Amino acid sequence: MKKILKGAVVLLIIAAMIFSTTAVTADTKDKPQMHAGGTNSPKSFIQTSPSTTNRGLLWDNGDPDLVNSFVCQRIGLVGWADLADDFHLEKKSTIQKVIWETVDTTDYTWAGTDDLIIYQYTPNGPGPETIMLLEVQNTRQQVGEQWGKPWYRYEIDLEAQGQTFNLPKGDYYILLRPYTAGNTGMSYWMTSPPPPGSTSESYFRSDYWSYPDFVPGSGPFGAPYDVSFKIYGTQDFSREINRPIIDFLHNHPNMFPILQQILVLFGL
């Protein structure tokens, strides 16, 4: 009896493996791939980004680890695929420049512009949009080749274009998305080593890939990944006096007249 049960279990496992393989093949055979790498083992940390002398490094999400890269691009008038990763600001900061790295297929006709979107942080991924800059002028420099595709470093210099913006201290998600007016080709955002002890991961969204809302990347990509980017700017070192009181009044504007009366009563 035990031998019969063991044999049945083995047959079920084999059937499940065959079914899974068939399902994956049927779902992706007519679509471009969501990733450009995927099978490389993690390599040593590689320093590739240029030094920046006139701006401080506010956040470093790591240089490319050459393990994988995932589609993030806008083609034509509609979004094709969005990828967002989290970052933290220790103080109120002015964002002046961002850098990230990709591999692009040779038929991806980059238009010389990119989208930069900042989302509020939530434990379940990107929340409401805080900053949205679409088709911002930038530069792209080829720095090598990886997985048989050109390897590019993208850079948006917000300060040079007069489009810097301020963010309060806290946590956010950022999306950096190359734009093309064409209808072919793929741009893949390269992965980076996760920070020590971190359990965070990038989030993915794409109507084309049947993910209309942001989901953890470990779903469509099979494992959690961070992506490579750096944020440069300046920090505001002024003291934030009575910040809790200011936040309270901002969220409860009806209390401000009452506070004024209390201050008058005490002669303040």
Tell me the mean pLDDT in the region 13-25.
32
- Same domain assignment for residues 90 and 163: yes
Per-residue confidence (pLDDT) for residue 239, from 0 to 100 = 56
- Same domain assignment for residues 55 and 169: yes
Strand partners, 60: 230
Distance of CA 24 to the CA centre of its chain: 26
Strand partners, 70: 35, 189
Neighbours of 211 (CB within 10 A): 17
Please check the confidence at residue 26 and state whether its pLDDT lies above 50: no
Domain that includes residue 88, residue range? 35-237
- Same domain assignment for residues 196 and 254: no
Per-residue confidence (pLDDT) for residue 192, from 0 to 100 = 96
Is 74 within 8 Å of 80 (Cβ atoms)?
A: yes
- Same domain assignment for residues 161 and 90: yes
What's the CA gap between 76 and 246, in Å, rounded?
A: 44
Please check the confidence at residue 9 and state whether its pLDDT lies above 80: no
pTM: 0.73
Per-residue confidence (pLDDT) for residue 75, from 0 to 100 = 87
Residues 6+ apart with CB under 8 A from 176: 72, 98, 100, 114, 115, 116, 154, 156, 189, 229
Look at the block and give the residue holding tokens 């993030």.
72
Instruction: Identify how many contiguous H helices and E strands the chain contains and give both numbers.
Output: 4, 16
What's the CA gap between 174 and 59, in Å, rounded?
A: 11
What's the CA gap between 100 and 66, in Å, rounded?
A: 14
Per-residue confidence (pLDDT) for residue 250, from 0 to 100 = 59
- Same domain assignment for residues 186 and 212: yes
Strand partners, 152: 102, 142
Please check the confidence at residue 54 and state whether its pLDDT lies above 80: no
Considering the chain, what percentage of its residues have pLDDT values greater than 90?
59
Position 30 confidence tier, pLDDT thresholds 50, 70, 90: low
- Same domain assignment for residues 100 and 10: no
Average pLDDT, the chain: 80
- Same domain assignment for residues 8 and 101: no
Amino acid identity of residue 253, one-letter, is: P
Structure token digits, residue 244: 């809790």
Position 174 confidence tier, pLDDT thresholds 50, 70, 90: very high
Look at the block and give the residue holding tokens 């944020």.
231
Lowest mean pLDDT among 26-35, 99-108, 162-171, 192-201: 26-35
- Same domain assignment for residues 20 and 102: no
- Same domain assignment for residues 119 and 173: yes
Per-residue confidence (pLDDT) for residue 181, from 0 to 100 = 79
- Same domain assignment for residues 268 and 155: no
Look at the block and give the residue holding tokens 């940390």.
45
- Same domain assignment for residues 192 and 179: yes
Per-residue confidence (pLDDT) for residue 267, from 0 to 100 = 56
145: part of which helix (H) or strand (E)?
A: strand 139-146
12: part of which helix (H) or strand (E)?
A: helix 2-28
Please check the confidence at residue 50 and state whether its pLDDT lies above 70: no
**Tens digits of per-residue pLDDT, 112-171?**
999 999 999 999 999 999 999 999 999 999 999 999 999 999 999 999 999 999 999 999
- Same domain assignment for residues 39 and 26: no
Per-residue confidence (pLDDT) for residue 36, from 0 to 100 = 85
What's the CA gap between 232 and 44, in Å, rounded?
A: 24
Is 121 within 8 Å of 127 (Cβ atoms)?
A: yes
Domain count, the chain: 3
Please check the confidence at residue 29 and state whether its pLDDT lies above 90: no
**Tens digits of per-residue pLDDT, 73-113?**
998 766 789 999 999 999 999 999 999 999 999 999 899 99
What's the CA gap between 93 and 95, in Å, rounded?
A: 6
